[in-house]
Structure 1
Amino acid sequence: MNKEGRRNSIQSVQLPKQSKNHFCRKLTMAGGGEVGFRVRRMEAEMVHGINDDNKEKNKYHYYYLSNLDQNIAVVMKTVHVYKAVEGKSTEDVCRVMKDGLAKVLEYYYPCEGTLTVSQEGKLIVRCDGRGVPFVEAVADCDLYVLGDISIPDPEKLMKLVYQLPEHLNIFEAPLVTVQVTKFKCGGYVLGMAKNHCLSDGMAVVEFLRSWAEMARGLPLSVPPVLDRSIQLPRSPPKIEFHHDEFTEVEDVSNLTDLYKGEELQHRCFTFNVDKLTTLKEMAMQDGTVESCTSFVVLTAFTWRARTKALKMGPGQKTKLLFAVDGRRKMEPPLPAGFYGNGIILACCLCDAGELLNRPLSYAVELVQNTIKNTTDGYIRSVIDYFEITRARPSLTGTLLITAWNRLGLRLSDFGWGEAAQTGPAELPQKEVAFFLPHAKELKSLVLVLGLPASCMNQFEELVEDIGQ
């Protein structure tokens, strides 16, 4: 792109400045010392798709969001760490990524818009061509200061994600923001915030891959499919299944007071091949379950261990929510490159007493049956359920697991190799736990979750007791 083209696609705007205190924090390193960590942000620029004709054509029209997009209008903030490449300067990394973003937004134009509410009372995107804020930043240290980013540490990692003023609501905030931070060692970090109603994790990976291809001067290997009409509700809508994810659970164990009264601690736990194998053996030892995947057994174990650590009473209803990819389960299947939310929040619900008094195989079987029963008919019923009720999942007594370990978030190469680490900058809600890939061990899983301080120690003991 020539200089004139870049001026047309990138517009400088004055956005609120952050205070100096926001950028400074003392980090205790493994060696015992403290390292100052400061980030200096430049003025944000608004990046637009490079095709002015396309932008004008789409300006001010409304982009449909399906019923599966409505319940997850939360902002997901991720960091992607790229190490320096010997003999290859990253001096122009911001320019390369900014130009690549302008090119890819021609295909992903809804990312430039803002949310509004349709006449039917649903979220839709107003394609007003607002653009994507792009911030260049510089850190005064090397990448090693970040350490292992498996544990979401907002005080540290949110320096690497551009933060909008807190007073902005979801209708005023941009749908995507980007920050690229260069480190003294030559490495850099991509920090991205994206409203989940635009797309799920798999679509984010496709967006990043497309952006990286554009940045390297390559054509898109998988152009996005923006049409979400395949997810339209039926006419008339028809609820054919019971949807426990929307069931209101009574807090008979005073969990609300527990969370309010104690500090929330976040920890990560690595489950290597040996520990995962042990869990599978535990699940299969009574003969109820013949086999299970690492995802299923770790999901079941985490649900039981968290329930016990929170000291839920035997009569407390406890709910497990986890994402099931519906792309291939729908009929017809969602097309390759589908940009949107193709996931369904699958649900298991039972009494805490039953969950804890029965063996691990009981929870494993619940998870397996829930996955098996997530069919095209069930997905259509979910879509129609929202059409009729406008209900949102209740989170009382709930664990919500989101698995990022198979997404391939590290694979995007903007010209300096794939990411060394990726992960969330923060956990969006206290009920959420993440499965992340291990930085070095391909078959290991990293569990990240938050619990009240008094409960975290017991959860840790339950992990340590596996196989004992």
Structure 2
Amino acid sequence: MADGKSNANEQNLFKMNVRRSPPIIVHPAGDIKAGGTYFLSNLDQNLPVIMKTIYCFPATDRRAVDKVVGEILRTSLEKVLVHFYPFDGRLAVNDEKKLVVRLNGGGVPFVEATADCELELLGDVSIPQPEKLGMLVYCPQRESIFEMPLLMVQVTKFKCGGFIVGMAMSHSLADGLSTVEFLHAWAETARGLPISLSPFLDRSILTARCPPKPQFPNPAFADLSGSLSSVAASPFPSLPILHRSFSFDPAKLSRLKLLATDAGDDRPLPSTFAALAGLVWRSRTIALNTPSADPAKLLFAVDGRKKLKPPLPGGFFGNGINFACCLCPAGEIIDRPLAHTVRMVQSAIWEVSDESIRSTIDYYEVTRAMPSLAGTLVLTDWTRLGFGATDFGWGCAAQTGPAELPGMEVALFLPPAKGAKTGTTVVLGLSPPAMSTFQEIMDF
């Protein structure tokens, strides 16, 4: 049996009650640019979703928790927002029909809360548990994205003395690396230290060329909905989604890389990401019973900061990622060896360049197209971002993870699960029948 961990049984054996205080609206504690708008690049336009993450800090004797954690985190947040002032605004649409940040001083909601249990009882938080972990992130519903705060923070204290920082952030403001750099700057401020990496806020360096010159095909934007059979368009429509995590220790990763290599191939073994991406895409396609003639698409973010010419400045705050894409008939990845799928992933990575990123920026300028998720798997790799290195003064986070996944189309690669020091954890959601098949494939 594969080693997948589920959120359906052992993760829900206890009930947790969380009591929230009314939110305090936090503003930058200093002079900032007020009024007008803040420019968002074309790489920011396709990501107006809210990402919800949690950071777990066990009880420690390094600093008292009960009375000061909320005050320290709130006052340090006020200070660090001076450097990250766009979070104080709200999304809006300009005359060019593009997203910008309206610098209206809307502020950042900050909530203190208490839980009636021990932090340890949460178990492994790498598995999304929206009903439970959602209580640890303050993110009230709004009628539109233009009313939604761009950053929301909740600090929840547990009976044991540990606490969790829950954060909801607009992806239009920051990709994974920028989110981590913001967290580290906030943590340094909480410890009374100067910020070691100041944010570079001028996103106009990613402005489209004039005139725009899109010169590469953009399969990421291909809408496959009209080409999918009814089975692929709505697999298991009435069944619930089961989230499960799969741990890949170094030994299993080594086996996977050998499986992902053709016999007699003298090229270097594939990277961990390429091997896992090929495995997950192929296995999920099989598990969903995707007809061979249906198109299958894989999207994954590639950091373009160093691929651009010149590279983006250190501390660039925004989305510096470009979506690499694999697109083919499902039968091409189902009927051929895993090595073929992995080579497709490798080729997509190699194709991300200064020219292709500039072409994507210009393509949006001309078309205003959004990536389509029909028939698509979106992979997000958080293994090297360093979320867990955040230290507000009580030591680094013992665990971090998503409070929820945006949908069944998304899978995450995370650092090792609780209790492990090396390896990679894969998290995704599928219907129970598809998950059963997926888990069988993972057993190798």
| TM-score, structure 2 as length reference | 0.95
Give the alignment of 1:10-21 within 5 angstroms: none
**Alignment counterpart, residue 397 of structure 2, candidates 409, 419, 443:** 419
Partner Cα distance (2:236, 2:90) in 1: 33
Distance 1:287 1:89 in 2: 60
1:149-184, CA deviations, whole angstroms, 9 ceiling, x for partnerless residues?
Answer: 1110000001100121x2431001111000000011
- Note if 1:214 corresponds to 2:186: no
Q: CA deviation at 1:253?
A: 4.9
Residue matched to 1:85: 60
For structure 2, which runs of at least 5 residues remain unmatched after alignment? 1-7
Kindly indicate whether residue 154 of structure 2 is the aligned counterpart of residue 179 of structure 1: yes
Please report the TM-score for the alignment, with normalisation by the length of structure 1.
0.90
Matched, 1:275 2:252: yes
Deviation, structure 1 residue 259:
4.1
CA distance in 1, matches of 2:108, 2:331: 49
Secondary structure of 1:295's match? Answer: helix
1:394 Cα deviation (Å)? 1.1
> What is the CA deviation profile of residues 252-279 of structure 1, one whole-angstrom value per residue up to 9, with x for unaligned ones?
2522332422221111111111111111
2:283 pairs with 1:305 = yes
Inter-partner Cα distance in structure 2 for 1:169 and 1:463: 40
2:24 aligned with 1:49: no
2:345 counterpart SS class: helix
Asked if 1:132 is matched to 2:108, the reply is: yes
**Cα distance in 1 for residues equivalent to 2:374 and 2:13:** 39
Query: Is residue 270–residue 445 contact of structure 1 (8 Å, CA) maintained in 2?
Result: yes
1:362/1:87 CA distance change after superposition, 3 Å: closer
Q: Does 1:441 align with 2:416?
A: no
String of CA shifts for 1:17-53, please: whole Å, max 9, x gaps. xxxxxxxxxx9658xx9533111100100111111xx
Aligned to 2:15: 36
Superposition deviation, residue 361 in structure 1 = 1.1
Deviation at 1:442, TM superposition (A): 3.4
1:27-426 equivalences under 5 Å are 34-51=13-30, 54-55=31-32, 58-86=33-61, 88-91=63-66, 92-164=68-140, 166-249=141-224, 250-288=227-265, 289-426=267-404
Shift of 1:284: 1.7
1:112 to partner: Cα distance:
0.6
Cα distance change of structure 1 residues 287 and 321 upon mapping to structure 2, 3 Å threshold: farther
Q: Is the 8 A contact 1:28 1:35 kept in 2?
A: no
Q: In structure 2, do the counterparts of structure 1 residues 356 and 105 end up closer, same or farther at CA, with 3 Å as the change threshold?
A: same
Larger relative contact order, structure 1 or 2 (CA cutoff 8 Å, min sep 6): 2
- What is the DSSP-based 3-state SS (H/G/I as helix, E as strand, rest coil) of the residue aligned with 2:435? helix
How many angstroms apart in 2 are the aligned matches of 1:71 and 1:313? Answer: 29
Q: Post-superposition shift, 1:231?
A: 0.5
Q: Distance in 2 between matches of 1:321 and 1:184?
A: 42
Identity %: 48
* In 2, Cα distance between equivalents of 1:261 and 1:38: 30
For residues 31-84 of structure 1, the C-alpha deviation after alignment (integer angstroms, 9 at most, x for no partner) is xx9533111100100111111xx23xx221200000000001100000100011
Give the alignment's Cα RMSD to 1 decimal.
Answer: 1.6
Specify whether residues 112 and 433 from structure 1 end up closer, same or farther in structure 2 by C-alpha distance, changes over 3 A only: same
Q: Is the 8 A contact 1:284 1:290 kept in 2?
A: no
**Equivalents in 2 of 1:462, 1:108: separation in Å?**
44
Correspondence for 1:21? none
Give the unaligned 5+ runs of structure 1.
1-26
State the alpha-carbon separation in 2 of the partners of residues 392 and 213 from structure 1: 37
* CA distance in 2: counterparts of 1:254 and 1:285, whole angstroms: 32
CA displacement 1:102-141 (0-9 Å, x = unmatched): 0000000000100000100000000111110000001111
Deviating more after overlay: 83-92 vs 171-180: 83-92
Distance 1:278 1:365 in 2: 17
Partner of 2:260: helix, strand, or coil? helix
Q: Which residue of structure 1 lines up, in the alignment, with residue 430 of structure 2?
A: 451
Q: Which stretch shifts more, 413-422 or 435-444?
A: 435-444
Going from structure 1 to structure 2, the CA distance change for 1:29 and 1:364 (only over 3 Å counts) comes to closer
What amino acid is aligned across from residue 40 of structure 1 in structure 2? Answer: R
Match of 1:284, SS state, is: coil
